[in-house]
Amino acid sequence: MFREMLDAKREFHHAQRRYPIGAEVIGKDQTHFRVWAPRAREIDVVLEDGARSKPIFYALTSEPGGYFSGAGNAGAGTHYRFRVNAGENFYPDPASRFQPEGPHGPSCVVDPRQFRWADTNWPGPALAGLQGQIIYEMHIGSFTKQGTWRAASEQLPELARIGITVIEMMPVAEFPGKFGWGYDGVNLFAPSHLYGTPDDLRAFIDRAHSLGLAVILDVVYNHFGPDGNYLGVFSDNYLVREKGNEWGDAINFDGPNSGPVREFFITNGRYWIEEFQFDGFRFDATHAIRDQADEYIIGAVGHAAREAAGSRSILLIAENDLQEAKMARPLNEGGDDLDGMWNDDFHHSAVVALTGRNEAYYGDYLGAPQEFISAAKYGFLYQGQALSWRQALRGTSTLGIAPEVFVCFIENHDQIANTGPGQRLRSQTSPGRYRAMAALLLLGPWTPLLFQGEEFGASSPFLFFADVGDASVREATRKGRAQWLAPFLSLSEEEALRSLPAHDDPQVFARCKLDFSEREKNRQLYNLHIDLLKLRREDSRFRQQIPGGIDGAVLAPASFVLRYFAKDNDDRLLVVNFGESQIMYPAPQPLLAPPSGYRWETLWTTESPRYAGASAALIATPEQWVLPAESAVAVRPCTSANHAN
């Protein structure tokens, strides 16, 4: 009879639970705990209170499959840990919702129902449709001097005003140390205490939604960080020891006892969408995930996230170095049903065109006009060709994939840091070429991404920084970075070790913080980005992302034209010249011909004095074309000869 009562009580608590793991408030000063710990014979919840001399222990009940569960007298804000097999050490919850003292400290019970959402009718974003999206990658710790969600939320109105539509937040899952990029997270359900409380994060997202901004989260499902990772105490099956990637042991998504591991990550996806109202994910380094299961784990997480979002639309974007286009194809075509993929090909071509670099993976790109035309028409440049950098074939066909699927950028956290000194791209090229590339990025048919501060020409670098306490991890990280960056710097590993800034130096982190006074100091560059975002948003043709609606032609070794076809002769040309001024006479290129009965007029140019340009204008007449040096010019058809220049 007593066992039947226990079973009934356990079923009662399970019926009230939202998720299969973690601590959940189920009543006044009542919390239900559930953890997967197949290594354990017994598990106790240890309730800790600084006012008490001794902690309180609650024994959890063993369940089939290695789970333990039970309820205790604890409300929101209670600190707790788990004791395994009556041992002397206590450990944080693998599915902790908050670690107020970091990954080595106690977990904290959180009641998400206490937060009152103001914007309850937010529909969510979609990549397709008029205007599309402009993504803005943000690292909370360095975005403001304070490095908190509260401080970052104060900047959201300005981002919305200039035309940003989606914030892509770099990883926030709890990680060790006082600062870091966040890709070494160990408590994947716990927003980092360094940036504020879980409700501070909710308030940031609520504020963003009120301004029309979506917020997606960068999640790391390819490895766990090494420091502060206590998963091995509970189970040997989270990781596959004999298989690894460049960051360590691979996660067990398809091996023995992998079901609860998959459940952990699928639940994590649901959790961020439901309890924080995130608008989707950017999945980090999916090429490093080992999974041969019938349903790829990223597709499974995405499916669960969409179900959790209900009527809200969300964005699911992958970083995939192999450029496996199937990730962005629908399920009925054998794909993983994601919305977008990062396009490194575009970035690498852009860097070569602007700087002439040819080391490391830049050696597989020419920076030639045809590469940008191909990127506009087909997305990825490598769709099965040999890549010398990886000594392997790269990519698969993108046939039939819409242009907005490809997320293009000329800066992101990785690419800036891969310069070694963390140099922004504008400092590596001429102002004219940089303005022209910014125009191509923001007017192209893809989905553009800007990295924090790029819009106003931030002078702050973005270096790799990580406050690592463990000496062995710190040394391994230092050597790993030197080994990776040595080819980019044309140095030996030993030389790179000596020259790279110390990643655990607080001053290295401090140098990466933005200075918003540069919005005025660099007003001309800020104007450039604001005007480009407005042109993309308001122009009748640039605002549309039409599959197959664009063609291009090489005009000279450093110049090309993209033609945006439209109904009713409302075509646009984007003429980009990274080289010297040139006169095209004759101009035997049909894409330069205006619609019948029309002539061309300049709609917009990077050479405006408003952007510190040289005031040189493109001149398009029936006789000749004059292309200003290092410029981009948008052209539209005009019926009036008085406006044709």
Separation between Cα atoms, residue 132 and residue 163, nearest integer Å? 11
Residues in the chain: 645
> Which two three-digit tokens encode residue 624?
């000749």
For 27, list phi and psi in degrees, rounded to 5: -175, 180
Amino acid of residue 278:
F
What are the start-end ranges of the H helices in 163-258? Answer: 198-210, 231-234
Separation between Cα atoms, residue 149 and residue 143, nearest integer Å? 10
> Which two three-digit tokens encode residue 317?
């974007």
Separation between Cα atoms, residue 545 and residue 449, nearest integer Å? 15
- Beta-strand (E) ranges in 445-527? 447-451
Separation between Cα atoms, residue 635 and residue 574, nearest integer Å? 6
- Coil, strand or helix: which one is 158? helix
Return the bridge partners of 30, or none: 27
Separation between Cα atoms, residue 59 and residue 448, nearest integer Å? 52
> Which two three-digit tokens encode residue 148?
């908190």
Amino acid of residue 42:
E
CB atoms closer than 10 angstroms to residue 408: 25
- The position carrying tokens 């122009």 is 539
> Which two three-digit tokens encode residue 218?
């960068």
Q: Write out the H or E segment, with its range, that includes residue 485.
A: helix 471-489
> Which two three-digit tokens encode residue 279?
């608008």
CB atoms closer than 10 angstroms to residue 232: 12
Separation between Cα atoms, residue 481 and residue 464, nearest integer Å? 9
Strand order in the sheet with 559-564: 550-556, 559-564, 572-577, 631-638, 599-605
Question: What are the percentages of helix, strand and coil residues in the chain, rounded to 5?
Answer: 35, 20, 45
Provide the annotated active-site residues: 284, 319
Separation between Cα atoms, residue 292 and residue 171, nearest integer Å? 26
Separation between Cα atoms, residue 71 and residue 31, nearest integer Å? 6
**Is residue 322 a contact partner of residue 285, using CB atoms and an 8 Å limit?**
no
**Is residue 624 a contact partner of residue 585, using CB atoms and an 8 Å limit?**
yes
CB atoms closer than 10 angstroms to residue 144: 20
